[in-house]
């Protein structure tokens, strides 16, 4: 499914097309794609919230498939191994961020489904160093949302500095938050979910949320930490007010509408901390996959045929899908 020019998803900008079989370069793998989850970032790429880096483009960066052809010098995986491909496709390894172990901030990183073709296709290539072994407990579709929604939520959870057993707030409840909730529950946290959608509130409670309501509702008490998943700047002061003295708010999105002006005393004084989350390191990905398998996390997925990619993306935009819309490739 190809994006030829950025446009609103309601206009069905993804069209099916035939491309040559991609050749894996040195150190790369050609992967036969089995499933690819959609992500709100795909919408930002498709609709133009993020600048175009390559057109036409195959979107998709939560890819699960099997190694079909290792490229020259690729030895980490064998043909037939099941691997995952995530948003972070390569880093330079040489800039000051990479050298400091902060490759998520690399100045010349590349990205699956943005700078390079992604997984809304039968085949996708990835540098083997940036592929993940998929734990056996997940089927192909279930494993896909771990690769961005799961990893980014996990980094956001770490960045929120919520203590084990602490009170955590999640603003917005989609694919990423529904996995993060399950990790936080395994840490003994009382999770409070704030979303306007009644169906999402019910899903949150069914997954073990201590409380669920709308963003304007009064919480049962102050939070130790909060994560804002919704790309809505207006939620930032709401979350900052809701955290206790010394609390932290982490912003998990790659794109957010403007934040309103904030007053110092209720929002940031009392040593409150506001942090953003930018992509992830490979270490975050490995840690999330290991923890997800051990808990185990049960991602909720709704399957769509690849040819229905436009419909799947409309559904995540309008919250018409339970948690994660996954494209299945036959």
Binding-site ranges for Zn ion (CB under 5 A): 39, 41, 91-92, 95, 98, 106, 148
φ/ψ of 105, rounded to 5, equals: -100, 10
State the minimum distance, in angstroms, from the CB of residue 317 to Zn ion.
14
Strands 167-171 and 223-228: parallel
- DSSP H helices in the chain: 40-47, 96-99, 140-143, 149-160, 175-186, 198-206, 235-242, 264-267, 282-294, 309-317
Q: Please identify, using beta-carbon distances, which residue of 189 and 313 lies nearer to Zn ion.
A: 313
Residue entry with tokens 């390569």:
90
Residue among 92 and 293 whose Cβ is closer to Zn ion: 92
- Can you tell me the distance from the alpha carbon of 314 to that of 186, in angstroms, rounded to the nearest whole number? 32
Distance CA 181, CA 173 (A): 9
Give the position of tokens 């407990």. Answer: 137
* 263 SS3 class: coil
Q: How many CB atoms lie within 10 A of CB 75?
A: 8
Provide, rounded to whole angstroms, the least separation between the CB of residue 109 and Zn ion.
7
CB of 59 to Zn ion, least distance (A): 10
**Residue 14 or 148 having the CB closest to Zn ion:** 148
Specify the residue for token string 């309103």: 260
C-beta of 45 vs 223, nearer to Zn ion: 45
Q: Least Å distance between CB 92 and Zn ion?
A: 4
Kindly state the smallest distance separating residue 284's Cβ from Zn ion, in Å. Answer: 13
Smallest gap from residue 279 Cβ to Zn ion (A): 9
Nearer to Zn ion by Cβ, of 2 and 179: the residue is 179
DSSP letter for each residue of 176-235? HHHHHHHHHHHTT-EEEEE-S-HHHHHHHHHTT-SEEE-TTSPPSS-EEEEEE-SS-TTH
Residue 78: other Cβ atoms inside 10 A: 8
Query: Nearer to Zn ion by C-beta: 36 or 212?
Result: 36
Of 57 and 243, nearer to Zn ion (C-beta) is: 57
In the bound complex, what is the minimum distance in angstroms from residue 148's beta carbon to Zn ion?
3
């Amino acid at each position: 499914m190809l994006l030829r020019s950025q446009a609103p998803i309601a206009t069905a900008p993804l069209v099916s097309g035939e491309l040559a079989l991609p050749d894996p370069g040195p150190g790369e793998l050609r992967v036969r794609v089995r499933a690819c989850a959609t992500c709100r970032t795909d919408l930002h790429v498709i609709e133009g919230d993020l600048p175009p880096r390559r057109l036409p483009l195959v979107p998709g960066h939560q890819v699960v498939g099997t190694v079909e052809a290792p490229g020259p010098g690729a030895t980490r995986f064998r043909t037939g191994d099941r691997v995952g491909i995530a948003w972070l496709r390569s880093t330079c390894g040489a800039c000051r961020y990479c050298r400091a172990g902060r490759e998520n901030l690399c100045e010349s990183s590349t990205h699956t489904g943005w700078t390079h073709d992604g997984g809304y296709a039968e085949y996708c290539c990835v540098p083997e160093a940036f592929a993940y072994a998929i734990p056996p407990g997940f089927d192909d579709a279930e494993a896909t949302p771990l690769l961005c929604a799961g990893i980014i939520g996990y980094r956001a959870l770490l960045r929120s500095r919520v203590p084990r057993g602490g009170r955590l707030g999640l603003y917005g409840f989609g694919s990423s938050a529904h996995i993060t909730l399950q990790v936080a529950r395994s840490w003994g946290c009382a999770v409070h979910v704030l979303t306007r959608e009644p169906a999402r509130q019910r899903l949150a409670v069914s997954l073990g949320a201590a409380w669920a309501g709308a963003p304007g509702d009064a919480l049962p008490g102050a939070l130790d930490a909060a994560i804002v998943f919704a790309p809505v700047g207006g939620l930032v002061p709401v979350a900052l007010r809701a955290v206790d003295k010394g609390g932290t708010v982490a912003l998990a999105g790659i794109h957010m509408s403007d934040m309103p002006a904030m007053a110092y005393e209720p929002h940031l004084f009392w040593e409150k901390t506001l942090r953003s989350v930018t992509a992830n390191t490979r270490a975050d990905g490995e840690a999330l996959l290991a923890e997800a398998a051990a808990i185990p996390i049960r991602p909720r997925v709704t399957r769509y045929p690849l040819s229905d990619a436009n419909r799947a993306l409309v559904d995540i935009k309008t919250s018409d899908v339970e948690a994660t819309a996954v494209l299945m490739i036959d």
